Each structure stands twice: as structure tokens, then as C-alpha cells.
Amino acid sequence: MPNDTTARWYHSAVWTNGGMVIFGGEDAVSCCEPKNDTWVRNTSGVWSELWTPLVDRPEQRLNHRAVYDSKRDRMIVFGGAIGDGGTTLVNDVWSLALASPDWTELSPPETCPARVNITPPSMIRFTIG
């Protein structure tokens, strides 16, 4: 299993009690090809890839946003751009249970229109049960 990630941009990142979790984006190796891998940097500064099932996870994406739900120990990812070069905007919502780690697509009753580069993430408002 890889134990390091290359420099990355257009990804999302959240801070948890166990360290930082990043998802997606692009790196210098796969420029213009969005990724859907997940990496964890523990509190000692060591990177490791978080292996998640290949099915039932978000499509490769960039310019999306994420928040950490400390009550349920999960990363919630919203929107971004998918496809070759990130040309298609989406407004889907995904949850990564960090203990499992399993992805679940969420279906909130309301969501924002498809968009990228939402700032700050706290301005995204939707209800998740």
C-alpha cells in the first residue's frame, strides 16, 4: 500500500481527531484528470491511503467542498466538477464514515445548484438526518 501522496490541488480536506483527511483533486502526475482517492495524514505527519471500496464512492472530482461531522465521525463531500478535465458540474452529496471506511451517497431534501469553488463551506446549508 502506498504511504505517501504527491502534491495536490483542487481537493477537499478536513481535520479530524486522528489527523487530516483529503479527497479527490488533481496531482502533478495526473494533471487534468480528477481523482477519487482518499488519504489520511495522521498526527505524526505520516500519509497513508485510505482504501475504500471501488464501488459506491463519489466519481473522480475537483473543486468540491467537504466538512467534518464530528458527531458521526464522517467526512461529507458536496459538489465539484467531474469528467475529463473536470468539465461537468455536480451537486451530489456523499458521506465517508471514517471508521468503516465506507462511502454513502446522501439524499438531502434540499441542496444547492451544481457549482465549484464554494467559499466558505459553512455557507452550504442542507439538512441531513
Please count the other Cβ atoms lying within 10 Å of the Cβ belonging to residue 24. Answer: 26
Instruction: Give the containing element (helix H, strand E) for 22.
Output: strand 19-27
Model's pTM, two decimal places? 0.83
CB 18 within 8 A of CB 41: no
Sheet holding 74-82, edge to edge: 65-69, 74-82, 88-97, 102-106
Domain boundaries, the chain: 8-120
The CATH code of domain 8-120 reads: 2.120.10.80
pLDDT of amino acid 125: 46
DSSP string for 2-41: ------EES-EEEEETTEEEEEEEEESTTTTS-EEEEEEE
**Amino acid of residue 72:** R
Chain segment 36-95, per-residue pLDDT in tens: 999 999 999 999 998 887 778 999 999 999 999 999 999 999 999 997 777 889 999 999
pLDDT of amino acid 124: 45
Average pLDDT over the chain reads 83
The rounded percent of the chain whose pLDDT value lies above 70 is 84
- Cell numbers 463531500 correspond to 77
- Cell numbers 481535520 correspond to 15
Length of the chain: 129
Q: Using 50, 70 and 90 to split pLDDT, how confident is the model at 129?
A: very low
